[in-house]
Chain A
Amino acid sequence: MEPAIRIQPGKERQVLVCRGTGCESQKAKVIFDNLEKELDKAGLSGSVETKYTGCHGFCQQGPTIMVMPAGTFYCNVTPDDVAEIVETDLKGGKPVERLLFLDPKTKDRVLTFRDMRYFNPQRRIVLRNCGFINPEDIDDYIAVGGYEGAKKALSMTQQQVIDNMKASGLRGRGGAGFPTGMKWEFANRSVADQKYIICNADEGDPGAFMDRAVLEGDPHSVLEGLIIGGYAIGATKSYIYVRAEYPMAYERTLIAIDQAKKKGYLGKNIFGSGHDFEIKVKLGAGAFVCGEETALIASIEGKRGMPMPRPPFPAVKGVFGKPTNINNVETLANIPVVMTKGGEWFASTGTEKSKGTKVFALAGKITYSGLVEVPMGTPLREIIEEVGGGILNKRKFKAAQTGGPSGGCIPAEHFDVPMDYENLTQLGAIMGSGGLIVTDETTCMVDMAKFFLTFTQKESCGKCVPCRLGTKKMLEILTDVTKGKATLEDLDQLVTLAEDVKNGSLCGLGQTAPNPVLSTVRYFRDEYEAHILKKECPARVCVRLIKFQVNPDKCKKCGQCASACPADAITWKKKEVAQIDSEKCIKCRSCILACRYNSID
Chain B
Amino acid sequence: MKEKLQEIFSNHHGTRDALIPVLQDIQGEFGYLPPEAMDAAARFCRMSPVEVYGVATFYAQFKFDPVGRNIIMVCQGTACHVMGGARILEEVASQLQVAPGQTTKDGRFTLETVACIGACALAPAMFVNKDTHGRMKPEKVAEILNGAGN
Contact = CB atoms under 8 A, between A and B. Distances in A.
Contacts, number: 145
A340 interface: no
A125 to B, nearest CB: 21
A245 B118 contact: yes
B21 A283 contact: yes
A364 B118 contact: no
A71 to B, nearest CB: 21
> Which bracket fits the contact residues of B?
35 or more
B101 to A, nearest CB: 12
A200 B79 CA distance: 22
B79, B84, B90, most chain A CB atoms within 10 A:
B79
Given A286-B59, A459-B115, A22 B122 contact: yes
B118 A212 contact: yes
A302 B79 CA distance: 32
Interface string B106-150: 000000001111111111000000111110001100000000000
A302 B132 contact: no
B60 A369 contact: no
Given A25-B132, A282-B20, A588-B87, A369 B58 contact: no
A282 B59 CA distance: 14
B118 A203 contact: yes
Interface residues of A, number: 61
A387 to B, nearest CB: 13
Given A303-B55, A304-B54, A363 B120 contact: yes
Interface string B11-49: 000011111110110000000000000000000010100
Given A285-B61, A437-B79, A301 B17 contact: yes
Contact of B131 (A25, A245, A286, A443): A25
A285 B23 contact: yes
A364 B82 contact: yes
A529 B114 CA distance: 32
A391 to B, nearest CB: 12
User: Which are the 6 A-B pairs with shortest beta-carbon distances?
Assistant: A25-B132, A209-B118, A59-B121, A286-B60, A207-B78, A206-B116
30 contacts: A22-B121, A22-B134, A25-B134, A205-B116, A206-B78, A206-B81, A207-B77, A207-B116, A208-B118, A209-B119, A246-B118, A283-B24, A285-B20, A285-B59, A285-B60, A286-B59, A286-B61, A286-B62, A287-B58, A301-B17, A302-B15, A302-B20, A304-B54, A306-B58, A320-B17, A401-B78, A439-B82, A458-B115, A588-B90, A593-B84
Interface of A: 21-22, 24-26, 59-60, 62, 203-209, 212-213, 244-247, 282-288, 299-306, 320, 361, 363-365, 369-370, 401, 404, 435, 437, 439, 443, 448, 451-452, 455, 458-459, 461, 566, 588-590, 593
